[in-house]
Amino acid sequence: MQRIVVIGNGMVGYKFCEKLVGLAKPGALDITVFGEEPRPAYDRVHLSAYFENRDAGSLELAPASWYSDNGIALITNQYVSDIDKENKTVQTKSGETHTYDQLVLATGSAPFVPPIQGVEKDGVFVYRTIEDLEGMMAYAEKIKDKKSNGKAAILGGGLLGLEAGKAVMDMGLEPHVVEFAPKLMPRQLDARSSKVLQLTLESLGIHIHLSKTTNQILGNGAITGMEFGEDDKLDVDMLIISAGIRPRDELAKTCGLATGTRGGIVVNHKMQTSDPSIYAIGEVALYNQMIYGLVAPGYDMAKVAANQIMGNTDEVMANDIDMSTKLKLIGVDVASFGSPFMPADKGHSIIFENKTKRLYKRINVSHDGKTLLGGILVGDAGDYNMLHQMYLNGMALPENAEELVVGARGEGGAAFGSAMDLPDTAQICSCESVSKGDICNSLLNEESSTLKDIVSCTKATTGCGGCKPMVVDLVNETLKSMGKVVKEVICEHFQYTRAELYDIVRVKGITSYDEALDTVGKGDGCEVCKPALASIFATIYNDTANKEAVIQDSNDRFLANIQRNGSYSVVPRIPGGEITPEKLIVLGQVAKKYDLYTKITGGQRIDLFGAELNDLPAIWQELIAAGFESGHAYGKALRTVKSCVGSTWCRYGMDESVSFAIELEERYKGLRSPHKLKGGVSGCIRECAEARGKDFGVIAVEGGWNLYVCGNGGAKPKHALLLAEQIDNKTVIKYLDRFLMYYIRTAAPLMRTAAWLEKLEGGIEQLKRIVVEDSLRLGDELELQMQALVDRYECEWKQAVENDEIRKRFQHFVNTEDRDDNMVFVPMREQKMPEAWAT
């Protein structure tokens, strides 16, 4: 059996394994992978997402089980310290020796740390691993505990440096980017586009310092500043170095493989090093005298090496490697492709610049005007994918090439065709080498039928994600050309999505379920469309669940959650978790009287379990008399707004979180929605209310509240994302009204806010535009709708106990007063529980 050893389990090392097991017969190879990091390979490209979700698992390229399932021995936390080329062995730091037939070096690169005096001080970081990020976040917290106006600098104004700038901002520190060159992103941008970018970044609150040579890091033990010239200093509390990368060729050097003068392991077009049994791929490989600091060329290298090892010797690395890039994250579009700077003897440039709108576009065109050689886009990179494809595929330019930059003149004339005009060979996803043909043919041959299928079978969009809009277009256009409509309908009775049905009900003024079925549905309905329509009626007319009881989900019909043995639970609302001793006593008395199991819930309120259907009205009558209301624990509705004690008592509190939580819970109580809604309000960033684990979360900060949306715990936990910062109570409510109403109108049934946001084209940025900037001009309408719902609130349990007709619903038998004698309770810890189920 061939023994393959891979050193390095980063992005490219992982890709190599994936390609190799795809090519080899199961069990044909003995593969061992060594990784120095403590965890299996993760998505470094999206490392910054860790600041948002702190979820290392979601960055994983494959779980640890994937390796064992594919017969790969993965040894993490193990540095390989030596290679013996003659005996074909490698030695680990812990002293173990492993033999190989073929060795693959995928050791990546390390951040370059310039030899500046003082770089060893506390508070100086690099930006490459999850551990680096954890270190930075912990340090930033320490700074923020000490002062409210902490600053962090980033050394290096390249692609990664700007990403780090955004990360600093998200950590709540003031970002300063320090660049040695006179412009930002010196490898990708010309001076004018760099200036436009600088203006935009400054308007976002990122400070830019160009042409700065750092002489010294100041501070006693920990960094307090940076010194550029004698009188030129910048006070900072933290520094992130992002000054380039150095290939990790240390092993290659000690064992005598050929390396470049400026580092990197020399490889040929087969990815072989100077020793034919040793391959090098990824950021450590020096190919065509270049190190490629991008993941796509690394993936190509992985594919070539895997094929070479499996004997497919025709598969070699291309000569020209595309280094086009698009900046992600920062909130401003920046892209550059092909040759962004072009000497005048090769062609001419067409440049459009509008500094007031912070726009810059440049394309470089050959002298004959026929081919696109490269370009730069700042401010609006919407055309990047098409321009990039035109460049890659050498597609013919329109007669007036300037239309590519300024747009076509006249009615709706688009200079670009659609993605469908690309040749089949056009590479759409360069990270995973997926061509247009791969995508379209898979749909045409009916091997796949949805975007999800395409992503799972081709892996397109799973790398940098830049190709996503194009892949979506291709899938939709292809399906359309096949005469297929793509939508998720409610059920067999309504051929509409929930959002469509919502609009139809509103526009046609439909008010009952049968009317809906008769006008726009078919058949007699079911357990899926009934509650979906009940929810729609509730959010348009604020009907309570009493109006049409038989279309309510089973819990809503009886205004209580059904339990294991057919008994019910009773959960009165306790807004914000605040309760008077008098009310607590009432709860205890009621629970005692009706023999109810009593428990504090995870939602800061009290649940009384084990009530018989017949007793529900009497129980609620007593509770209502004591001032309680329904807690809607049974509904897809607002549940709780959890609070921490806040500034009224807590020594760290920045604002009154309990008061605000109560205000929010009172405002949105009774609000029905596609799925349940939970909120939280914390008095400071210690976040004791776990507000970021809720559908909406509010956290007090210096100067106002930060508003987070679309988080949840439950089956698929997700942290809420920042929607707006430092806003006052009124603005929080305004944004919440808009956000909640927009969610209610557009989400699918049983889709929580987190899943909804994942589906929302444009994600959180788009949501910000809709809610904060009011880009759809829906703001007023959404606020009015919400206010109308708030005004029409009624406690549905109060309705029920006061109405004899409704009370009749709560009878186990309609022909006798007898109780259900099949319901069996057994004792447990001084209370009771339902008898266990047999299976």
Partner 1 sequence: MEAVLATYQSTDTSAVTTWFKACTVKSIPENGGACVKYKDKQIAIFNFVRKNVWYACQNLCPHKMEMVLSRGMIGDADGIAKVACPLHKKTFSLESGENLNGDLPAIATYPIKIEDGFVYLGFSE
Ligand X SMILES: Cc1cc2nc3c(=O)[nH]c(=O)nc-3n(C[C@H](O)[C@H](O)[C@H](O)COP(=O)(O)OP(=O)(O)OC[C@H]3O[C@@H](n4cnc5c(N)ncnc54)[C@H](O)[C@@H]3O)c2cc1C
Q: Which does 533 bind (CB under 5 to 8 A by kind): ligand X, partner 1, ligand SRM, none?
A: none
Cβ–Cβ under 8 Å, residues 274 and 258: yes
Residues in Cβ contact with 791 at an 8 Å cutoff, skipping those fewer than 6 apart: none
Number of H helices, E strands in the chain: 27, 38
Binder of ligand SRM out of 601, 621, 766, 831 (CB under 6 A): 601
Question: Closest CB to ligand X belongs to which residue?
Answer: 10
The residue (of 195 and 557) whose beta carbon lies closer to partner 1 is 557
Of the candidate spans 468-476, 550-558, 659-667, 674-682, the one that interacts with partner 1 by CB under 8 A turns out to be 550-558
| Smallest separation (angstroms) from ligand X to the CB of 310 | 20
The residue (of 341 and 594) whose beta carbon lies closer to ligand SRM is 594
Q: Which does 464 bind (CB under 5 to 8 A by kind): partner 1, ligand SRM, ligand X, none?
A: ligand X
Of the candidate spans 40-48, 191-199, 513-521, 712-720, the one that interacts with ligand X by CB under 6 A turns out to be 40-48
DSSP 717-777: -B--EEEEEEE-HHHHHHHHHHHHHHHHHHPPTT--HHHHHHHSTTHHHHHHHHHTS-TTS
Within 745-764, the residues that bind ligand SRM by CB under 6 A are 752
Binder of ligand X out of 196, 251, 551, 586 (CB under 6 A): 251
Cβ–Cβ under 8 Å, residues 671 and 737: no
Give the tokens for residue 541: 């007319």
The residue (of 61 and 644) whose beta carbon lies closer to ligand X is 61
Of the candidate spans 11-19, 487-495, 632-640, 662-670, the one that interacts with ligand SRM by CB under 6 A turns out to be 632-640
| Smallest separation (angstroms) from ligand SRM to the CB of 715 | 4
- Nearest of 494, 431, 493 to residue 468 by alpha carbon: 431
Q: Is 124 in the site for ligand X (CB under 6 A)?
A: no
DSSP 34-87: E-SSSSS-B-GGGTTHHHHH--HHHHBSS-HHHHHHTTEEEE-S--EEEEETTT
Q: Is 294 in the site for ligand X (CB under 6 A)?
A: yes
Q: Which does 294 bind (CB under 5 to 8 A by kind): ligand SRM, partner 1, ligand X, none?
A: ligand X
CB under 8 Å, gap of 24 or more: what pairs does 521-530 form? 521/493, 521/494, 522/492, 522/493, 523/492, 523/493, 524/493, 525/493, 525/551, 526/491, 526/492, 526/493, 527/553, 528/490, 528/491, 528/749, 529/490, 529/491, 529/493, 529/494
Q: Is 602 in the site for ligand SRM (CB under 6 A)?
A: yes
Three-class SS state of 222: strand
As a whole number of angstroms, the distance between CA 568 and CA 580 comes to: 25
Within 8-27, the residues that bind ligand X by CB under 6 A are 8-13
- Nearest of 668, 665, 635, 675 to residue 546 by alpha carbon: 635
The residue (of 280 and 751) whose beta carbon lies closer to ligand X is 280
Element (H, E) at 23: helix 11-23
Q: Is 47 in the site for ligand X (CB under 6 A)?
A: yes
Q: Which does 607 bind (CB under 5 to 8 A by kind): ligand SRM, ligand X, partner 1, none?
A: ligand SRM
As a whole number of angstroms, the distance between CA 164 and CA 157 comes to: 9
Q: Which does 11 bind (CB under 5 to 8 A by kind): ligand X, partner 1, ligand SRM, none?
A: ligand X
Binder of ligand SRM out of 153, 251, 376, 633 (CB under 6 A): 633
As a whole number of angstroms, the distance between CA 596 and CA 615 comes to: 11
As a whole number of angstroms, the distance between CA 193 and CA 191 comes to: 6
Binder of partner 1 out of 222, 806, 823, 833 (CB under 8 A): 823
Of the candidate spans 153-161, 259-267, 523-531, 727-735, the one that interacts with partner 1 by CB under 8 A turns out to be 523-531
Q: Is 640 in the site for ligand SRM (CB under 6 A)?
A: yes
As a whole number of angstroms, the distance between CA 498 and CA 263 comes to: 58
Q: Is 437 in the site for ligand SRM (CB under 6 A)?
A: no
Binder of partner 1 out of 361, 557, 675, 752 (CB under 8 A): 557
Which one-letter amino acid corresponds to residue 205? G
Length, in residues, of the chain:
839
Q: Which does 523 bind (CB under 5 to 8 A by kind): ligand X, ligand SRM, partner 1, none?
A: partner 1
Which one-letter amino acid corresponds to residue 769? R
Within 112-131, the residues that bind partner 1 by CB under 8 A are none
The residue (of 556 and 607) whose beta carbon lies closer to ligand SRM is 607
Q: Is 617 in the site for ligand X (CB under 6 A)?
A: no
Cβ–Cβ under 8 Å, residues 477 and 420: yes
As a whole number of angstroms, the distance between CA 406 and CA 416 comes to: 12
Q: Is 514 in the site for partner 1 (CB under 8 A)?
A: yes
Q: Which does 392 bind (CB under 5 to 8 A by kind): ligand X, partner 1, ligand SRM, none?
A: none
> What are the two backbone dihedrals, phi and then psi, of residue 735, each rounded to the nearest 5 degrees?
-65, -35
The residue (of 558 and 739) whose beta carbon lies closer to partner 1 is 558
Cβ–Cβ under 8 Å, residues 797 and 620: yes
Element (H, E) at 300: helix 295-309
Contact positions vs partner 1 (CB under 8 A): 492-493, 514, 517, 523-527, 529-531, 549-551, 553-555, 557-558, 562, 564-566, 808-809, 811-816, 818, 820, 822-823, 837-838
Contact positions vs ligand X (CB under 6 A): 7-13, 34-37, 44-45, 47-48, 79-80, 106-108, 127-128, 160, 163, 248, 251, 282-283, 293-296, 298, 328, 464
Contact positions vs ligand SRM (CB under 6 A): 561, 563, 569, 571, 599, 601-603, 605, 607, 633, 639-640, 676, 678, 712-715, 752
